[in-house]
Structure 1
């Protein structure tokens, strides 16, 4: 039986009674126990301290004990996907959340899942600001399936909770598994990076980057004012430091472009050149996937193919990044910066081209695995989230009340 058919059978012929969050037959509003505490006055402990969107701290003591749903009173990070949290056991709630729970006839976890599909915007007095008063909150509609048979109603609610929780648990398990695998691969990569680039005696020559290049130097900054619009808007890629930090090994996209005027005041570096940052995050690297300009906060390295490659130098710089960062801190306590001279004098190990290619091939495989997991993790999580939302829609799409619920 397909998922959709199973849901249809579960809800086949089931009537629904609509009530509101203020209906004391089914719900309890436990706002009176809430208590905000400034961070400086909180006593550290193991009890979660809830704010509008998440757990803000862990404290000693608690305001509530049991199974509750927390609805943002103000400060929800999103209006369209309004902040609704589930809390169980002992917890501390501050005054930025409404605290509610189901009584007999209403499963609190069912209430949590349902409230996640509610459009809260109509209940906000000022539609562009997340301020949900208690007076408005208690008007929010809540469905009670099969109201004439309380036992069957709770069974249906529990089954809906079981199905939706299973998707949440699958997402958590998958996230934990892929995160652990990513951490293992990064450890392996770091190990092999260190081992493969640890040379002894006559295995290598120690050379500077200028000695191994066809071109080496800083990018050129604009001589005109930075905000001169005539410098921009053409079809010449202009790479900024933000495009390099944390970027893929090869830069394939860009946001900024130069005009011909901008190019005249800069320098065009060829595809395949290695870009190296020398400010803020030191020695972040990426290889140009196209001809481009970049500012003087970036060093360009065009390898002499008879001596080395951009890929090899990139891996070597990754292995020495920590030492370079320490040098940057020694030069400036306010911000890590290294000048061109540091890289001009830096001696790096260069074995034969054959050995360089072997090292690059090994490290490329680890890099590809890490990127595959890093890219796959958000995709898998998104897929599971969509599955959850699909079934949540099937299970919680009850016919709307024809008239206002009292």
Structure 2
């Protein structure tokens, strides 16, 4: 059944009245509660910022508490109140709703509760709809901090089906909530399943990668990466993020190795001027580009093999590894536990962790024949492609389900005479 047919069946000819929020309930401001007031146990409490960061659409338990003495001075939400964070740094989040299904809870300033006789989750879903968002936008004030006042919220119109028959109205609201909750649950279930699948595939990939790159002593030579005839490490340098331009000479900034690049790359994300590039250290095709600093031990020495057609500039806090091995083979080796174990002994620094080029040169790498390196790379490329396709597909699939929920939510709130909401 389509959403439109479902809506027609739900309404079954009943009247729908577009009512001002001020006509169906009252807004009550929170007061006096700050994060520093939280204690280990006591009276349940909600800070407005947590509505953005900790809560979903509805909740029946708080994450924090305040002392009973302070709670006596604070405004409190009760079951079926709609809690609203009324300030935000962006227009989309301001007036984010939380349907409160629990016992009494103290609420902070910069939020308010809406007390009413409707289905609270019906209201929460409506507050996320495009119909509500369109009305809200004209009442937002403030520059850096965006806010909507209770007097303006009171003017916003909401569709109330069968408003002269509260019992039937609540039954219709409950059915709409059931449908929308089922979409939310399906999205959550799909997210959990795909995340578990991704985790399993990554573990499988990591296991095979480590197995393929583990050689018994005497099976192949394990040579220092900086040994003559094996390779040499060269520090990058001479450009910064502020030097990026739309087109020009390709470049890799060390920070991009964490955020943008995978095992290998044949195109750069950014460019610098040809004039600046002449002063920079460069990686040639087949070289590795390695981030030599990070805020954590795991990421330091993350590497990308440059397999593009021309040379590229490399920033400071990175180094270039010029070598005579299969570039992807070396890049995969940098991901193995064997490399990580050796790397850890050379990490220095407190807040910023780093490994210098001289230390990298001492790390031992197994050096099988070129044919064996190519065979290993061919196998790992297949695993890498499979894992990447799941990694990229996961957010796409979740986004699709979220859009499906939003479509049906907005459709289910598109009651007759929606133009009345703008009057």
Structure 2 length normalisation: TM-score? 0.80
Cα drift, residue 250 of structure 1: 2.5
Post-superposition shift, 1:334? 3.8
Are the equivalent residues in 2 in contact too, given 1:276–1:283 (CA < 8 A)?
yes
Give the direction of change, closer, same or farther, for the CA distance of 1:360–1:226 in structure 2 (3 Å limit): closer
Give the structure 1 partner of residue 196 of structure 2: 180
RMSD: 3.3
Alignment partners' CA distance in 2, 1:111 and 1:286: 49
What are the within-5 Å matches in structure 2 for residues 63-212 of structure 1? 63-74=76-87, 76-82=88-94, 83-90=96-103, 91-103=105-117, 106-117=118-129, 118-119=132-133, 120-126=136-142, 129-211=145-227
For the residue of structure 1 that corresponds to 2:148, the secondary structure is coil
SS across alignment from 1:126: coil
- Distance verdict in 2 for CA 1:67–1:273, change over 3 Å: farther
Q: Is the 8 A contact 2:301 2:355 kept in 1?
A: no
Q: Report what 1:286 is aligned to.
A: 304
| Other structure's SS at 2:7 match | helix
Among candidates 315, 318, 322, match of residue 298 of structure 1: 318
Alignment match, 2:59: none
CA contact (8 A) 1:145 1:156 kept: yes
Aligned residues: 392
How far apart in 1 are the matches of 2:218 and 2:80?
A: 68
Question: Which of 319, 323, 346 is residue 341 of structure 2 equivalent to?
Answer: 323
User: Unaligned stretches of 5+ in structure 1?
Assistant: none
Shift of 1:349: 1.6
1:156-214 CA deviation, whole Å, 9 max, x = no partner? 21221122111111111111111122222233233333333333221120112344868
- Offset from partner CA, 1:65-99 (integer Å, 9 cap, x none): 5233221122x253135422233224553223212
* Structure 1 partner of 2:48: 51
Deviates further, 256-265 or 277-286: 256-265
Asked if the contact 1:73–1:97 (Cα under 8 Å) also holds between the matched residues in 2, the reply is yes
- Give SS of 2:147's match: coil
Q: Aligned partners of 1:162 and 1:379: how far apart in 2?
A: 25
CA 315–110 in structure 1, closer or farther in 2 if over 3 Å, else same: same
Q: Distance in 1 between matches of 2:192 and 2:181?
A: 16
Residue equivalent to 1:261: 275
8 Å CA contact 2:43–2:106 kept in 1: the answer is no
The answer on whether the counterparts of 1:282 and 1:321 sit within 8 Å (CA) in structure 2 is no
- Cα displacement string for residues 131-156 of structure 1 (whole angstroms, at most 9, x for unaligned residues): 22333333322221122333332222
SS at match of 1:207: strand
CA distance in 2, matches of 1:259, 1:332: 33
For structure 2, the 5+ residue unaligned runs are 56-61
